């Protein structure tokens, strides 16, 4: 009958096998040399193989653990970058848009560039609100909108549009509204917005 080992004795054998395996890696011992050293412990048959098997299993498990940790670190870093880049770009975009302001604005008709304060509705005019922006972000498209407000305070027309990519920091744009005989007379207001942020407004009289 083969002599039995206690759990502590087997752990000692495994520890010795692990130590010799590590020593082998450091000192370049051959596998046969490690086996000969362990056999000097006069282990029961089969115990040596069991000990080496468990050592190899522990080494493989330790390597898998290191690989998982390394992979988790890489995945974590990728996630941080994936989250950070859009956040930085969004913040930078908001900063750029926040600098945009109005340099000049005027009310005109279709074929005129002269600023008007009074519009005659009988001719069914198309009224333009022309705005010159400053500090516009070059290379970006601007999401603009205009509200046309009649004398009673009601928004009767909304323009929503996106500009072409901005090519110069001073950028001219416009919105428009066609009036007719039924258009209420009195003082009108037109308001321009950039991404929902008020940029400017102008008033004019309709007769």
Measured distance CA(26)–CA(167) in Å, rounded? 65
**Could you tell me the CA-to-CA distances from 152 to 68, 76, 125 in Å, in that order?**
68, 58, 20
Domain limits of the chain? 7-95, 100-206
- Note whether 108 and 128 are within 8 A (CB): yes
Q: Copy the structure tokens of residue 113.
A: 């560039």
- Note whether 194 and 144 are within 8 A (CB): yes
Q: How is 110-165 classified by DSSP, letter by letter? A: TT--S--SEE-GGG--EEEEEEEEES--TT---EEEEEEE-TTS-EEEEEEEEPPP
Domain 100-206, what fold?
Immunoglobulin-like (2.60.40)
| pLDDT digit string, tens, across residues 24-76 | 555 544 556 656 655 665 555 455 566 667 667 777 887 888 888 888 888 87
| pLDDT digit string, tens, across residues 92-141 | 767 778 899 999 999 999 877 788 999 999 888 999 999 999 999 999 99
Measured distance CA(126)–CA(110) in Å, rounded? 6
Residue with the bigger pLDDT between 39 and 143: it is 143
pLDDT of residue 31: 56
β-bridge pairing 197-206 and 155-162: unpaired
Measured distance CA(7)–CA(24) in Å, rounded? 25
């Amino acid at each position: 009958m083969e002599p039995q080992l206690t759990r502590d004795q087997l752990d000692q054998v495994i520890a010795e096998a692990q130590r010799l395996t590590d020593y082998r890696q450091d000192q370049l011992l051959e596998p046969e040399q490690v086996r000969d050293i362990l056999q000097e412990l006069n282990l029961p048959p089969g115990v040596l193989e069991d000990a080496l098997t468990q050592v190899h299993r522990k080494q493989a498990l330790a390597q898998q653990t290191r690989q998982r940790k390394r992979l988790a670190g890489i995945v974590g870093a990728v996630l941080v970058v994936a989250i950070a880049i859009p956040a930085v770009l969004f913040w930078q975009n908001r900063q750029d848009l926040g600098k945009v302001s109005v340099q000049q604005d005027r009310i005109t008709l279709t074929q005129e560039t002269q600023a008007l304060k009074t519009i005659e509705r009988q001719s069914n005019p198309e009224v333009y609100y022309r705005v010159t922006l400053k500090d516009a972000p070059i290379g970006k498209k601007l999401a603009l909108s205009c509200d046309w407000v009649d004398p009673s305070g009601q928004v009767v027309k909304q323009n929503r549009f996106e500009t072409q990519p901005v090519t110069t920091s001073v950028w001219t744009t416009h919105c428009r509204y066609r009036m007719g005989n039924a258009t209420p007379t009195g003082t009108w207001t037109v308001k321009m917005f950039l991404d929902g942020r008020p940029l400017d407004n102008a008033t004019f009289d309709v007769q």
